[in-house]
Structure 1
Amino acid sequence: MEGITPMLQPHTGHDSERARAFWTGLDPHDLHATLRAPLDGAAGFALPERVVDTGAAPVAQVFAAIAAALADTGARVGPDGALDADALRTVARSLGAPPDAVTSEADLMIISDVRVAAEAAGLIARRSGRAHLTPSGRAAAREETLDTVVPHLLRGWARRPIPPSNRVSDAIHASWPLTVLLLHRFGARWLPLRLYAKAVAEMTPEALRAAEREQPDAAIDTFAETYVGRHLIRFAAAFGIAEVSLGDDEDDDGDEPAIRSTPLLDALLPLVVDQADPSHAFDDWDGDAPPSVNEELAAALSEREFTSEDELQAFVEDFTNRRNTAPVDDFDGLSPEQMQRLLWSPLEPGSPIAVSQVPRVTPPSPLLFLVLDLAQALGDAGLKATAKGNLPRTYVHEAAARYRDAGWVRSDLDVPERARGEEDVGDLHVARIVARMAGLITLRSGRWRLTKRYRDTMARHGALGVYGALFEAFVRKYAWNYADLYPEFDIVQRSWGFSLLLLLRYGGEWRPPEFYADRFLRAFPLALDEAEDAYADHPWMRDPADAVRDAYTVRALERFAAFLGLVEVERGRYGRLGRLRATPALAEVVARV
């Protein structure tokens, strides 16, 4: 897509947090809340139930056309839900297009987009190979002004990625609140599409990395084309919150593809958090290249003169490449590029670490002990689950006693003598959750049972294979912030690979947990901002740095590294972690590449 891709450069996960603050103009707390629940009205956007003057939005017109095709008896659909040719002819006719111009939804993607969003919003339902309007869909379609249709469709669009689906498009779809924030902040004037693409690329390195895996030689082009097509055209323009110029309009500010917001943006997605004034973001922008969040690059550019855009682009690419591959002290010698891979694709090729799916030695892992104990109890018959879906109390008591006798218990608070159920034995509760996430056990017909995957894994690799499956589920699927009282601190889990590299490098001798927590804080200082926001209403409760250190110690060192047998620990007063060192198993499970 000519004119869009220049100046896009990959950024590290560390840089992406700074980029989000720079581009969106939101403080970290408001931005986090907006991305977590963009449409709940408490943060992000207050989506109303009814918005006047939205009937002219393209998606509203297409929904009205689809509703006409589904009236009375509905319409036949394919296995993927796509409307058949007869229904599409009716839709085309309603839209004023030649009936034979649309023979499949692929001929006019907005039809597919609106149908998918309407299904997700509960306006359309499928049954017995036909699509029908639901009562809500009929009520919305009967409104002459279609004032409720667009809010319904927007909720549906946010819930379900539009087809076709792949890793790049799904990652980009999840970033739609960032596009809306950019339109709120910068949309009053015509700006190049490539500026929006650059901003979102810097804020979502995971999407850029997905594009790199899909198209290694054309990752930036792939990202830019996917983003512009899906977000700026099929979302912002289709919902009427922006208008797009392909560069041939007389009233825009340039001759390249550009976008600006419409008044419908504030009516449909009013912002309920405060954004910083956008003016400073364009102080150094002359219309040829978006501003960089990297002050070093800005300084380097100011010292040189360029005779062409190609020369400028070559300089930027060389500068960025050298910076992204240079070791950084705060990252303990990793380069920004290595840190980005470690945060967003730690188990993929190119990561600075390699994790063994079947280690050569069995780690002294409490998690593995509990899962193997559970597997033995399940046997062929399984165990009857409680009404809540937990393990039966009798087994919990027996397993807790064996766990205590094996020496894994930190204190009686962790495994009380008279546990009332599974959730009173925290480690066992987590072990059951992780084993299910790993596909080793399943709940079927009210009984917990072993899966075929567990039996096959044990037959091929024994307990070592089971450990590998548990490790992957623990880092990829299990939420480390489950059932603790700390703020979310997502970066603690996302940086698990960095934590293991620290243990590989420094874990040969006993060290206090603060040694590792301080290095985590040095690499990810924005965690302090999250802590300050979390405790803003109770400033006397704790120091933000101490809150981050405590959360890191509990989640990364105790409940991850120690629970999986990668470190051994010595405890101090009140059972608190006093010091730790790596076990021999650590080097068998993970290695630096």
Structure 2
Amino acid sequence: MINFDDLNGFDNLDDLNEELEKRTNAHNNAPIDAFEGLTPVQMGQLENFPNDESPLVLKELPEEELQSCALLVQIRFLMDKMKGGKELKLTKTGALPTKVVKEIYGLGCLKNRWIEDGLTKLSKESDAAEISITRILLEISSLARKKNGKLSLTKKGEKTADDGNSILREILTVLFYKFNWGYFDGHESEDIGQVFPAFSLFLIKKYGSTKRSSYFYAEKYFKAFPQLQEEQDSSFRCYSLRTFERYFRFMGFVDVDKEEIVGPVDIRKTAFFDKLFSLE
């Protein structure tokens, strides 16, 4: 906190403003324990990640290494179907047709636990969040548009269809700032996980070499943003589910070991994550 108690002795307004600016700058550039040593300025930069002034840097990778991003592979599979002005007809509910759903799942990029355990069958898009999010992120991005029940590429989508790094940056931006992270769960909070998701990336970059419980990260996340935490166990489960079991797993950022249906999972960052992100 900035101390203003001893500012009464300034008679000159210019001197007072200069001192205020000095103290504000000192505060904004001082490491904060709750932010894992990041300064308020750096946290502000993370809030707008990915950008060119963030302590966390999104790098460009060769096309073959981008194959480790499961969600990117699935989205590009859909984009390939629409190259050259082609359209993809959706169902009456706006979902992907069954044939395409099974084609995407057949890529083997993302597996659904309930389907793999034989507890449910894959017959429509809504049977697997891993498939639904593929269509949703593409649909709300600047790469595609939906019109008259059909999905097609925009000019930007056509132009970048063969540029995996550009697509990845667009999809990551849409995931962080346009998509509702609570869409696939019943938790009341719409903010947990979605507020400062890049801080979660920073935590993984810092601690993810060792397999750790997702609750280890939850503690640090809610230490930084205590206003988001409600009942501890519910908040921790919500953060773990959204951040690690779903979206970061979908992106290929973490490997997840889950033994129990309810409770924390063990996670470790992937080699792809380490190549994709660096700390400056």
Alignment TM-score, normalising by the size of structure 2: 0.86
CA contact (8 A) 1:411 1:575 kept: no
Alignment partner of 1:493: what SS?
Answer: coil
Aligned counterparts of 1:390 and 1:471: Cα–Cα separation in 2 = 21
CA contact (8 A) 1:341 1:350 kept: yes
Deviation (angstroms), 1:489: 4.3
CA-to-partner distance for each residue in 1:253-289, whole Å, 9 max, x for gaps? xxxxxxxxxxxxxxxxxxxxxxxxxxxxxxxxxxxxx
Provide the residue aligned with 1:318 in structure 2: 22
Residues 561 and 363 (structure 1), Cα distance of their counterparts in 2 relative to 1, 3 Å cut: farther
Which residue, 53, 60, 66 being the options, matches 1:362? 66
Aligned counterparts of 1:318 and 1:346: Cα–Cα separation in 2 = 27
Which residue, 50, 58, 80 being the options, matches 1:347? 50
Would you say 1:545 and 2:247 are equivalent positions? no
Provide the residue aligned with 1:297 in structure 2: 3
Alignment partner of 1:492: what SS?
Answer: coil
Deviation (angstroms), 1:467: 2.5
CA contact (8 A) 1:438 1:473 kept: yes
Which residue, 436, 439, 446 being the options, matches 2:149? 446
Provide the residue aligned with 1:121 in structure 2: none
Q: Percent identity?
A: 26
Residues 573 and 387 (structure 1), Cα distance of their counterparts in 2 relative to 1, 3 Å cut: same
CA contact (8 A) 2:98 2:125 kept: yes
Provide the aligned length of Structure 1 versus Structure 2: 276
Residues 467 and 348 (structure 1), Cα distance of their counterparts in 2 relative to 1, 3 Å cut: closer
Provide the residue aligned with 2:266 in structure 1: 579
Residues 387 and 485 (structure 1), Cα distance of their counterparts in 2 relative to 1, 3 Å cut: same
Would you say 1:555 and 2:242 are equivalent positions? yes
Which residue, 479, 495, 498 being the options, matches 2:180? 479
Q: Which runs of 5+ in 2 are unaligned?
A: none
Which residue, 405, 418, 426 being the options, matches 2:121? 418
Residues 300 and 348 (structure 1), Cα distance of their counterparts in 2 relative to 1, 3 Å cut: farther
Provide the residue aligned with 1:591 in structure 2: 278
CA contact (8 A) 1:382 1:447 kept: yes
The within-5 A match list for 1:3-402 is 294=1, 296-301=2-7, 305-343=9-47, 345-356=48-59, 358-360=60-62, 361-362=65-66, 364-378=68-82, 381-400=86-105, 402=106
Over the aligned positions, Cα root-mean-square deviation in angstroms equals 2.7
Aligned counterparts of 2:166 and 2:79: Cα–Cα separation in 1 = 14
Aligned counterparts of 2:237 and 2:262: Cα–Cα separation in 1 = 14
CA-to-partner distance for each residue in 1:324-356, whole Å, 9 max, x for gaps? 11111110000112112222x223343222223
Aligned counterparts of 1:492 and 1:308: Cα–Cα separation in 2 = 46
Q: Which amino acid aligns with 2:232?
A: A
Would you say 1:525 and 2:226 are equivalent positions? yes
CA contact (8 A) 1:570 1:577 kept: no
Alignment partner of 2:136: what SS?
Answer: helix
Deviation (angstroms), 1:559: 2.3
Q: Which amino acid aligns with 1:485?
A: G
CA-to-partner distance for each residue in 1:298-348, whole Å, 9 max, x for gaps? 4444xx6223333322222211211111111110000112112222x2233
Aligned counterparts of 1:314 and 1:504: Cα–Cα separation in 2 = 38
Provide the residue aligned with 2:205 in structure 1: 504
Alignment partner of 2:93: what SS?
Answer: coil
CA contact (8 A) 1:359 1:468 kept: no
CA-to-partner distance for each residue in 1:438-489, whole Å, 9 max, x for gaps? 2333323432334443332234x3x444323322221232121223212234
Aligned counterparts of 1:371 and 1:526: Cα–Cα separation in 2 = 35
Aligned counterparts of 2:241 and 2:186: Cα–Cα separation in 1 = 11
Aligned counterparts of 1:438 and 1:341: Cα–Cα separation in 2 = 22
Aligned counterparts of 1:497 and 1:384: Cα–Cα separation in 2 = 35
The structure having more radius of gyration, on CA atoms, is: 1
Deviation (angstroms), 1:378: 4.8
Residues 300 and 569 (structure 1), Cα distance of their counterparts in 2 relative to 1, 3 Å cut: farther
Residues 353 and 363 (structure 1), Cα distance of their counterparts in 2 relative to 1, 3 Å cut: farther
Q: Which runs of 5+ in 1 are unaligned?
A: 1-293, 532-543
Aligned counterparts of 1:394 and 1:577: Cα–Cα separation in 2 = 35
Deviation (angstroms), 1:432: 0.3
Deviation (angstroms), 1:577: 5.4
Deviation (angstroms), 1:587: 2.9
CA-to-partner distance for each residue in 1:219-256, whole Å, 9 max, x for gaps? xxxxxxxxxxxxxxxxxxxxxxxxxxxxxxxxxxxxxx
Aligned counterparts of 1:582 and 1:363: Cα–Cα separation in 2 = 16
Alignment partner of 2:193: what SS?
Answer: helix
Alignment partner of 1:572: what SS?
Answer: coil
Aligned counterparts of 2:244 and 2:259: Cα–Cα separation in 1 = 15
Deviation (angstroms), 1:501: 1.0
Deviation (angstroms), 1:576: 6.0
Alignment TM-score, normalising by the size of structure 1: 0.43
Q: Which amino acid aligns with 2:53?
A: G
